[in-house]
Amino acid sequence: MTSPNGPRPASPDSSPQRATTLELFFDIVFVFTVTQLTGVLARDMSLLAAGRVLLIFALLWWMYGGYAWLTNARAPTRAAERLLLLGGMAGFLVAGLAIPGAFGSSGTRGPDGVAFGCGYLIVVLVHSGLYLRANRHIWRIIPFNVTSALLVIVAGLVTAPAAYAIWAAAFVVQVVAPVFVRLGGRFDIQPAHFAERHGGLMIVAFGESVVDVGIGASGQRATMSLGLSAALGLALVAALWWAFFGTGEDELAEKVMTGADASRRPGLALAVYFYPYIPMLLGIVATAAGLKHALARPGAPMPAGPALALAGGVALFLAGDLMFRRVLRLGSARYRAAGAVAALACWPVPVAVTADTGIALLTAIVVAVLAVERLSGRDTVNG
């Protein structure tokens, strides 16, 4: 499968390429946009709000992937490149600030929809300008990305349901672009860079979810009940972190990609670091939104919507992690699949009992999955 963001010319340097500190700085700004989605979902747990989150995330994640492939093709070591990358960060920041009001309310125009579109257009233009320096064939894909950004601006000028249709069209334009565009050259994927870049992104996302736990508890008295709820929330996030990093699968993924034939690496990069990250990141967003709601009323039962977001978020993360592991043949699928099903099935618990009980149960499910994998010896590479 071909990435829409351009091939990396072959490099004569065989030393591993690592993510730069500027790229990690970039990821922190990008994760801010993800935390904004958490806020949107925490305020409104409806299906319509979930659809908004999916539309916004789809566009943002598409261009984040573009920047990851960009810096894999050419590290931002020159002053001009660094300044342009900072400009792309500014575009993501503007888009992130506009996320809460991007769709408006009650069918009105999104007051910040145009601002989001303008920020997104900056993201697209900076990406295009930087990639032209690394691959002259990128001009073939630029019109699709620019058209997508312009459609988002237009969506900010109209009311629902037309706005939703235009947002969807903006995403479709990007998705179908690889069908009509063939970029010259070949991809030269740097496994160490991809592993480090996306691993760093995941760490920042986990860290921001813990920050959301703190935000959910802000303005309240530091009671024992609040402390227990916060500790349980941290335990759940830590369990998810352990499921990904504690088993060493990020390091194993790098080894598998390094050992793969160079012609297979582009497909692996997409199958490992693009598609599985969608449910994993959305799972973190949904889990953080549920925890934020739980911390607002420590020790109390949860409404059905937030409870479903909490349990569904854990299930989504485990499902995405399962995709990640299956592509790389890292262990058995059945344990994490069972964990995802069990997590989703327990969503009524925080509704019928308390949020703390539901969080503790979800944590226990993740821990049980990890324990069974370890005891069975199936958390290593198969074949």
Same domain, 172 and 210: no
For 123-171, the pLDDT digits (tens) are: 999 998 887 776 666 667 888 999 999 999 999 898 878 889 999 999 9
Helix (H, G, I), strand (E, B) or coil at 330: strand
d(CA 369, CA 272): 21
Total tally of structural domains belonging to the chain: 2
Asked if the structure places residue 321 within a domain, the reply is yes
For 245-284, the pLDDT digits (tens) are: 987 777 888 888 888 888 888 888 889 999 999 999 999 9
Query: 278: which residues sit within 8 A by CB, 6+ positions away?
Result: 57, 61, 320
pLDDT at 214: 76
d(CA 193, CA 200): 10
Asked if the structure places residue 132 within a domain, the reply is yes
Asked if the structure places residue 25 within a domain, the reply is yes
Asked if the structure places residue 185 within a domain, the reply is no
For 360-376, the pLDDT digits (tens) are: 999 999 999 999 988 88
Same domain, 168 and 201: no
Q: What is the mean pLDDT of residues 91-109?
A: 81
- pLDDT band at 204; cut points 50, 70, 90: very high
Q: Is 268 exposed, middle or buried (0-12, 13-18, 19+ CB in 10 A)?
A: buried
Asked if the structure places residue 296 within a domain, the reply is yes
Asked if the structure places residue 66 within a domain, the reply is yes
pLDDT at 159: 83
Same domain, 86 and 131: yes
Same domain, 53 and 126: yes
Same domain, 240 and 339: yes
Q: What is the mean pLDDT of residues 311-339?
A: 91
Q: Is the pLDDT of residue 96 over 90?
A: yes
- List the domain range (segments joined by +) for residue 359: 191-376
Asked if the structure places residue 40 within a domain, the reply is yes
Same domain, 67 and 99: yes
- pLDDT band at 187; cut points 50, 70, 90: low
